[in-house]
Amino acid sequence: MIYTAIDIGASSGRVMVGELKEGKLDIQEIHRFANGFIQKDGHCFWDIDHLLKQVLQGLQKVKALGHERCTVGIDTWAVDYVLLDEKGNRLREVMSYRDRRTDHTIGKLEHTLTKDTIYQKTGIQFQPFNTIYQLYEEKRELLKKTDKVMMVPDYLGYCLTGKAVTEITNASTTQLLNVSTGKLDPELLQAVSVQEQQFAPLTEPGRELGMLRNDWFPDYDLPTCKVMTVATHDTASAVIAAPGVNDSWAYISSGTWSLIGVENKLPILTDLALKNNYTNERGANNTIRFLKNIIGMWVIQEVRQQLQADYSFQQLAEEARKTEPFQQFINLNDERFLNPDSMIEEIEHYCRETRQKIPRTAGELACCIHSNLAIIYAIAIKELETITEKPIEQLHIIGGGARNDFLNQLTADMSGKAVYAGPIEATAIGNLLMQMIAAKEVKDIKEARQAVRNSFPIKVFTPKDIDRSKMIQSFQQTVLKALSKR
């Protein structure tokens, strides 16, 4: 059986095929494409038609390889959605979570519902771009015309099959799903003027969505495809492929965003979890992904685009190696770095405000970003151990960031944990594995992770003996100084 994973992130997408051979995964990337939001009329939008076109081109390449039949799963980033009328037409283009319309919405909603109330209901961390805040800012006339609110991967599946669902791992990121009942919360829906029937029925990963409607796409030579609903939130798919063993490991799903957390059976809704802004998102197999959202490689992506010379990410990491780390302490999680006009200038402003050395060269900028990401990771690991009351012995870095040896070593040094890097294509692999579990070719998540360990190289980074507590203390003091300047 051939399985096809369509994995679309905020900056790129890929189509991969895979099969299981004697307990090992054999995967092949057959199509890769760029993604990114478009600035229009003062707002940020995704080109969803471009994404659908790339999905179809990828599936056409699957058939060109000789695969007449396959199963297909789609995963994307979280929180963003499509508004459809009763005929299934989009009411407007798909707005990006990086749009600034929700900058102050958390405070607005607090007049109706307190943070504590929302957290006890959902267990979801407070991010200004969460779906609940995006819907709050929608025009009420537009919401009245809306027949369906569909998350992005569910919408792409709908375009292929005509079948509408709301997959639960992505639904949990909306901050509208009640963590106790597993259903959309009526009080939260009312607060954003949306009704439960405006969402398609909730479904779990591993369910069949429907057959690809080849007749809808006469310009493409497509295989016969059974479309499966996988863990459609890309992080949920990635965690399936995290090759951890037992309960003493954590993960960093490292891409445009870095998601750092552990896998739990039950949510953690304590005051400490709320204070540190940890989230309880649904995972595959009725698990809870207890994690924190960290800005991740977005900062280096933006810096790379703004540099005059054409550096690859690998070259930037090599340039960073030539510079002394920890020369600046910057809270990259500050909202000012979410979508600034110029990332380089924003870093310079932060350093100037806090009287720190301003990074000038490509290597200094890259080293500054990598050093501070490592510190932020280390702080989050310590928080996880405190909140969960469990020691973390191993840290698995999965996703594109797993290939960044420089950052991986800094992370090991700052956290004091052994870092295991890989697999790189964790999200697509997890997508494929979910399809294999649904097809009963793989027994369960445990067997899936064993297949990952059998199939892909995992690189180990051992922590060096450094004064990590001094670095963390300096970082925290500088963060307080930056806040006092506001």
Query: pLDDT band at residue 263, thresholds of 50, 70 and 90?
Result: very high
Choose, from 7, 185, 234, 413, the residue flagged as catalytic.
234
> Can you spell out the DSSP letters for 269-305?
--HHHHHTT-EEEE-GGG-EEEEEEE-TTHHHHHHHH
Residue 235 labelled as part of a binding site = yes
Residue 380 labelled as part of a binding site = no
Are the beta carbons of 330 and 364 closer than 8 angstroms?
no
- pLDDT tens column, 114-123: 999 999 999 9
Nearest to 314 by CA among 398, 403, 252: 403
pLDDT at 1: 84
Residue 14 labelled as part of a binding site = yes
**Res. 419: pLDDT tops 90:** yes
Query: pLDDT band at residue 484, thresholds of 50, 70 and 90?
Result: confident
Structural domains in the chain, CATH included, are 1-232 (3.30.420.40), 243-421+455-485 (3.30.420.40)
Residue 10 labelled as part of a binding site = yes
pTM: 0.94
Rounded Cα gap, residues 339 and 101, in angstroms: 12
Rounded Cα gap, residues 192 and 47, in angstroms: 25
pLDDT at 66: 97
Is 234 among the residues known to form the active site? yes
Q: How many Å is the Cα radius of gyration of the chain?
A: 22
Residue 301 labelled as part of a binding site = yes
User: Mean pLDDT over residues 410-414, rounded?
Assistant: 98
Cβ neighbour number for residue 349 with a 10 Å cutoff: 14
**Res. 481: pLDDT tops 90:** no
Residue 12 labelled as part of a binding site = yes
pLDDT at 177: 98
Rounded Cα gap, residues 55 and 330, in angstroms: 38
- pLDDT tens column, 351-383: 999 999 999 999 999 999 999 999 999 999 999
User: Mean pLDDT over residues 423-436, rounded?
Assistant: 98
- pLDDT tens column, 41-89: 999 999 999 999 999 999 999 999 999 999 999 999 999 999 999 999 9
Question: What secondary structure letter does DSSP report for 404?
Answer: -
Residue 422 labelled as part of a binding site = no
Residue 100 labelled as part of a binding site = no
Report the percentage of the chain scoring pLDDT > 70. 100
Please provide residue 363's backbone torsions phi and psi, each rounded to the nearest 5 degrees. -65, -40
- pLDDT tens column, 212-225: 999 999 999 999 99
The type of residue at 381 is I
Beta strands 3-8 and 12-21 are antiparallel
User: Mean pLDDT over residues 455-465, rounded?
Assistant: 96
Residue 254 labelled as part of a binding site = no
Residue 401 labelled as part of a binding site = no
User: Mean pLDDT over residues 21-34, rounded?
Assistant: 96
> Which three-class secondary structure state does DSSP give residue 342?
coil
Please provide residue 135's backbone torsions phi and psi, each rounded to the nearest 5 degrees. -65, -35
Residue 413 labelled as part of a binding site = no
User: Mean pLDDT over residues 405-433, rounded?
Assistant: 98
How wide is the angle at C-alpha 43 spanned by C-alphas 42 and 44, nearest 5°? 140
User: Mean pLDDT over residues 223-247, rounded?
Assistant: 96
* Residue 221 token pair: 């030579």
